[in-house]
Chain A
């Protein structure tokens, strides 16, 4: 995944582009993360100033939602669905396999910065479980073999 390097002027431009919308805090956080791959810390006071909120309020919103990152993810992100429908279809074994092969537990990034392994709670692909998301790609009917192929692709 390719992202822009952090630049305050660029962030200010993104914030200004959305600040006029009603209740725009999440919209801005999403836009910043889309541009930079995460929400760099210096952006928080910038959002607060633009929306006339306190820094604490913006920080509170930023930290409430699982999706927003405070640091960049690995070059690839592999999200494994850990919710009930995928548990029923063998998701636990796949999660263990991924942790074993990558040598990290779910929620972490490999030391070389290659892969971030994350849980996700339902992609709505429950009739073709177990499912996963690899970068922007959705994957259904995941099995041990396909998971290995994905991890090989991620580690290339």
Chain B
């Protein structure tokens, strides 16, 4: 019997040697004349165990990891003998870290061959599209509304409402744009899905196209993600060949096609109107709203813009899962959120779970604390524009509103862990510096405010009239928050002020009462 072995082709696994493991394994199997069928999958998202190798057995897939090239021969022997091995992790699905999750969006990631639409279909793929093709536009949108899905990019706007607006925007050319400009440090869920389950993104976009009456879609992927670009282009080619993209998809009267466009290193292009400008071939300068992109978007036409994870959630919902999706979560945050644990963390990776889990559970329990073994001092939630939280706020539940109530944001679901060697004044300075470099320059509070912010924080760090300069910084942050055109200038006060509020001792001030009360 041919051995079926799975090794990820995910960039995160490749970055720690997955390709070397795959080559070593093929060479070894050839030398020993053992037939193997090697499938390059996405990653399961248990990154501290990457490169992870899985082998299909009668009882399920058995995992080994983290592998080094030196382990290939002994693991291969253990597989053939079905014997023990120090790297043997048991059945993959039974690994507690994976078993605790509610994987709706990431159910297939790391399981299927991302280059094969047959494999996608064999694992439940395209059921949502097949059902949608037989539904009216209104019914499709009703399903999305019923599921409670909110934009997974960060802002959390209800997806169904957005689609309805575009559907009602008259006839004529409309567009579907998938925002895959995942620039926030600490986030990688979009990348994993594009590399591990790209057909799901295409299926979600196609359903959106049918629902609103658009025939053309673009995926805007950042250039820092070459593996994702390759994976999406490969999937598009296969989908066209197999009738899932192009004219008359699945022999229906609907047509839809998708094209990948590549960014060029501008963080601001993750902002939706800046992304539209970039897609139009212009400088990524933010547009004032209104008009909303749903009314006047790409090339002035009504446009649905959603994040990769929002489109990725759609096939499950349309395959009859609207209620099941809505049943997960808390308050107005329905469904699951793929949370990404990174930075100085012991068990980093992708943890998809219903809303409501607390920050402390995620960092200490699931993440296992820091990799350095030192105490966790701060975590940044929601990317470079997200707030820094101290341990005292670890009881915050993962929920859009709960984070907002504590001057933070869920954002795209990234959590970056820092140990006690972190200098929070430096992190605050970095936030302003990053904003200064990445500002598109259109509005003054962001363009000038961020530069003045860096200068002011430098003065505070030097002890130059600290109290007065802190007042200046706080005032500047208010101006940026309320006066900026988009979330870059508008949200950069979150990391800055949270660092100042929760870690004042790093700015040369008395420790905060919040921490003293701990």
The contact of B343 among A24, A85, A124, A136, by CB within 8 Å, is A85
User: In whole Å, how far is A83's beta carbon from the nearest beta carbon of chain B?
Assistant: 3
Q: Can you name the residue of chain A whose Cβ is closest to the Cβ of B266?
A: A65
User: Contact at A64–B284, with CB atoms within 8 Å?
Assistant: yes
User: In whole Å, how far is B28's beta carbon from the nearest beta carbon of chain A?
Assistant: 23
User: Contact at B224–A30, with CB atoms within 8 Å?
Assistant: no
User: Contact at A67–B348, with CB atoms within 8 Å?
Assistant: no
Kindly state the separation between the CA atoms of A86 and B280 in the bound complex, as whole angstroms: 33
Over the window 326-344 of chain B, the binary record of Cβ atoms lying under 8 Å from chain A Cβ atoms (1 yes, 0 no) is 0000000000000011111
Q: Does A8 contact B (CB under 8 A)?
A: no
B50 contact set on A, CB distance < 8 A: 128
The contact of B281 among A25, A68, A122, A127, by CB within 8 Å, is A25
Q: Can you name the residue of chain A whose Cβ is closest to the Cβ of B280?
A: A23
The contact of A24 among B267, B281, B285, by CB within 8 Å, is B281
User: Contact at B427–A66, with CB atoms within 8 Å?
Assistant: no
User: Contact at B280–A121, with CB atoms within 8 Å?
Assistant: no
B265 contact set on A, CB distance < 8 A: 65-67, 120-121
Taking CB atoms and an 8 Å cut-off, the chain B residues in 277-315 that contact chain A are 278-285, 299
Over the window 47-77 of chain A, the binary record of Cβ atoms lying under 8 Å from chain B Cβ atoms (1 yes, 0 no) is 0000100000100110011111000000000
User: Contact at A30–B15, with CB atoms within 8 Å?
Assistant: no
User: Contact at A84–B384, with CB atoms within 8 Å?
Assistant: yes
**Stretch from A9-17, A137-145, A147-155 forming part of the interface with B:** A137-145
Residue of A23, A61, A68 with most partner-chain B CB within 10 A: A23
Over the window 23-36 of chain A, the binary record of Cβ atoms lying under 8 Å from chain B Cβ atoms (1 yes, 0 no) is 11111011000000
Q: Does A123 contact B (CB under 8 A)?
A: yes
User: Contact at B48–A136, with CB atoms within 8 Å?
Assistant: no
Kindly state the separation between the CA atoms of A150 and B317 in the bound complex, as whole angstroms: 46
Kindly state the separation between the CA atoms of A123 and B185 in the bound complex, as whole angstroms: 8
Taking CB atoms and an 8 Å cut-off, the chain B residues in 258-282 that contact chain A are 261-267, 278-282
Q: Can you name the residue of chain B whose Cβ is closest to the Cβ of A131?
A: B15
Kindly state the separation between the CA atoms of A127 and B417 in the bound complex, as whole angstroms: 10
Q: Does A104 contact B (CB under 8 A)?
A: no
A4 contact set on B, CB distance < 8 A: none
Kindly state the separation between the CA atoms of A145 and B361 in the bound complex, as whole angstroms: 34
The contact of A84 among B261, B278, B343, by CB within 8 Å, is B343
User: Contact at A126–B348, with CB atoms within 8 Å?
Assistant: yes
The contact of A23 among B14, B188, B267, B281, by CB within 8 Å, is B281
Q: Does A106 contact B (CB under 8 A)?
A: no
Q: Does A96 contact B (CB under 8 A)?
A: no
Contacts A124-B182, A128-B50: A26 and B261 contacting too (C-beta < 8 A)? yes
User: In whole Å, how far is B377's beta carbon from the nearest beta carbon of chain A?
Assistant: 10
User: In whole Å, how far is A37's beta carbon from the nearest beta carbon of chain B?
Assistant: 15
A136 contact set on B, CB distance < 8 A: 226
Contacts A121-B434, A125-B11, A139-B15: A61 and B182 contacting too (C-beta < 8 A)? no
A88 contact set on B, CB distance < 8 A: 343-344, 416-419, 422
Q: Does B225 contact A (CB under 8 A)?
A: yes
User: In whole Å, how far is A77's beta carbon from the nearest beta carbon of chain B?
Assistant: 13
Number of A residues with CB within 8 Å of any CB on chain B: 43
Q: Does A129 contact B (CB under 8 A)?
A: yes
Q: Does A105 contact B (CB under 8 A)?
A: no
B11 contact set on A, CB distance < 8 A: 123-125, 138
A121 contact set on B, CB distance < 8 A: 183, 185, 224, 265, 267, 434
Residue of B262, B282, B371 with most partner-chain A CB within 10 A: B282
The contact of A126 among B280, B283, B342, by CB within 8 Å, is B342
User: Contact at B266–A138, with CB atoms within 8 Å?
Assistant: no
A126 contact set on B, CB distance < 8 A: 185-188, 340, 342-343, 348, 414, 416
Q: Does B191 contact A (CB under 8 A)?
A: yes
Taking CB atoms and an 8 Å cut-off, the chain A residues in 65-109 that contact chain B are 65-68, 81, 83-90
Over the window 159-193 of chain B, the binary record of Cβ atoms lying under 8 Å from chain A Cβ atoms (1 yes, 0 no) is 00000000000000000000000111111101100
User: Contact at A67–B223, with CB atoms within 8 Å?
Assistant: yes
Q: Does A112 contact B (CB under 8 A)?
A: no
Q: Does B473 contact A (CB under 8 A)?
A: no
User: Contact at B264–A127, with CB atoms within 8 Å?
Assistant: no
User: Contact at B341–A127, with CB atoms within 8 Å?
Assistant: yes
The contact of A125 among B15, B190, B285, by CB within 8 Å, is B15
Contacts A127-B12, A128-B47: A122 and B280 contacting too (C-beta < 8 A)? no
Taking CB atoms and an 8 Å cut-off, the chain B residues in 232-272 that contact chain A are 261-267
B345 contact set on A, CB distance < 8 A: 127
Contacts A84-B185, A128-B50: A65 and B284 contacting too (C-beta < 8 A)? yes
User: Contact at B12–A66, with CB atoms within 8 Å?
Assistant: no
Kindly state the separation between the CA atoms of A65 and B268 in the bound complex, as whole angstroms: 10
User: Contact at B299–A23, with CB atoms within 8 Å?
Assistant: yes
Q: Does B215 contact A (CB under 8 A)?
A: no
Q: Does B198 contact A (CB under 8 A)?
A: no
The contact of B225 among A57, A124, A128, by CB within 8 Å, is A124
User: Contact at A29–B264, with CB atoms within 8 Å?
Assistant: yes
Q: Can you name the residue of chain B whose Cβ is closest to the Cβ of A66?
A: B265
Q: Does B430 contact A (CB under 8 A)?
A: yes
Given contacts A88-B422, A124-B12, A127-B345, 6 further A-B contacts (CB under 8 A): A23-B281, A26-B278, A57-B282, A66-B266, A83-B186, A129-B344
> Can you spell out 12 A-B residue pairs with CB atoms less than 8 angstroms apart?
A26-B262, A67-B265, A85-B343, A85-B416, A121-B224, A121-B434, A127-B350, A128-B12, A128-B47, A136-B226, A138-B227, A140-B15
- A residues lining the B interface (CB < 8 Å): 22-27, 29-30, 51, 57, 60-61, 64-68, 81, 83-90, 120-129, 131, 133, 136, 138-141
